[in-house]
Structure 1
């Protein structure tokens, strides 16, 4: 297997491989170019966005710049996703966003992993040269999740459909569907249910402050 194939499949790989290193730099340069493009030139912004994240073509991805990633080609988005300012996707392993996923500003999704022991983690002399060996674990966020501002999601995590991750949480393990999670490390606070409904259209039409049934019951 080539180093790129090893990398995205979760095997140990060498980031110093010349072919992989060249591709890595090319993709990061493309990300840099996107971030330096004027927002007034939306045609160019959309062109570069689809070049950086090929899966976004035709999916109506909302992306507020700046946005940072390592490859972009390892990001797989569904329909109508939204990514707010200053998000960072370390997409060494695949990152998958289901339909309707919303990410607040400053979210970090970090798939890379390193060996725990220093003598295995640091660069060393191997038969093919002096370098380190790394690996990565994928992240999946299923449809209709809301990941709030400044959340960190680590490699190997799957967040179930319809869940909310509260601002500032650090998610290190799987999240069940329709859950509200918060904290460092993140833990399940409760399940989301009909008491969370705020009747958005009626509330909007009546120009009222949004309050869920749960909030109204509290007085």
Structure 2
């Protein structure tokens, strides 16, 4: 199939195969959407710091401070994605990264406190309605998959002083690091200062408040290690 061969080439994966049978109408509809996304990408890429390969852009995508955004090959930004790259290190997206509809990525909250930035590695897929706050820095590895509604925070408000209102006590920025080959379930929340090792699985709805070792299966509020994947 021509489309299958084309996707193999774009992904650089000679073993890529369709897992379902599609009608000609299905394929025509998909092709039409992707073609429109490529056309939008031709216009948007001129505002990026750097962009390799094709750029697939959905409708109503908003990118601010694109001169601080670096994109690898064949980036997909689905409908209504909002990106604000204003930060010290900007936003860097690897090859074959996809970010699904209604997701928000930003790096600076209060304009007087410039944030750090966000890095997402090759072949990582971010599902719908993700919310990444990169003030303290977010690093996501390669081949990571995420369910919908995942939230990552890299900044906390200070609140220890009872004599000062919380909004006047400043913030504490701590980076979040997610290793390679992780699966983050839908609705998971990852808080500042957390490092999740390579190969971890985070159950849907978990709230991760502390760092986790590699190849752990993690679940709960607050999240804890249920077992190791080596024992699964």
CA shift digits 1:55-89 (9 cap, x unpaired): 44231101111111223871101110000000000
Q: Is the 8 A contact 2:197 2:214 kept in 1?
A: yes
Q: Is the 8 A contact 1:56 1:77 kept in 2?
A: no
Give unmatched runs, 5+ long, in structure 1.
1-37, 125-131, 197-219
More strand by share: 2
- Computed over aligned residues only, the root mean square deviation of the Cα atoms, in angstroms, reads 2.7
- Alignment correspondent of 1:57: 72
CA distance in 2 between counterparts of 1:170 and 1:52 reads: 34
Q: What TM-score, normalized to structure 2?
A: 0.58
Q: Is the 8 A contact 2:194 2:208 kept in 1?
A: yes
Once the two structures are TM-superposed, the CA of residue 187 in structure 1 deviates from its matched residue by: 0.6
Once the two structures are TM-superposed, the CA of residue 40 in structure 1 deviates from its matched residue by: 6.7
More helix by share: 1
Q: Map of 1:1-219 to 2, 5 A cutoff?
A: 41-43=36-38, 44=40, 46=55, 51=66, 54-58=69-73, 59-71=95-107, 74-117=117-160, 118-120=162-164, 122-124=166-168, 133-193=170-230
Q: Which has the higher contact order (CA 8 A, sep 6+)?
A: 1
CA distance in 1 between counterparts of 2:67 and 2:130 reads: 15
Instruction: Tell me which structure has the larger Cα radius of gyration.
Output: 1
Q: Secondary structure at the match of 2:227?
A: strand
CA distance in 2 between counterparts of 1:169 and 1:53 reads: 32
Give unmatched runs, 5+ long, in structure 2.
1-32, 42-54, 74-94, 109-115
CA distance in 1 between counterparts of 2:68 and 2:179 reads: 18
Once the two structures are TM-superposed, the CA of residue 106 in structure 1 deviates from its matched residue by: 0.3
Q: Is the 8 A contact 1:55 1:76 kept in 2?
A: no
Q: Secondary structure at the match of 1:57?
A: strand
CA distance in 2 between counterparts of 1:80 and 1:155 reads: 24
- Alignment correspondent of 2:6: none
Q: What TM-score, normalized to structure 1?
A: 0.61
Instruction: Name the CA shift for 1:123/1:107 in 2 (closer, same or farther; >3 Å).
Output: closer
Once the two structures are TM-superposed, the CA of residue 136 in structure 1 deviates from its matched residue by: 1.4
CA distance in 1 between counterparts of 2:214 and 2:100 reads: 27
Q: Is the 8 A contact 2:157 2:166 kept in 1?
A: no
CA distance in 1 between counterparts of 2:143 and 2:36 reads: 25
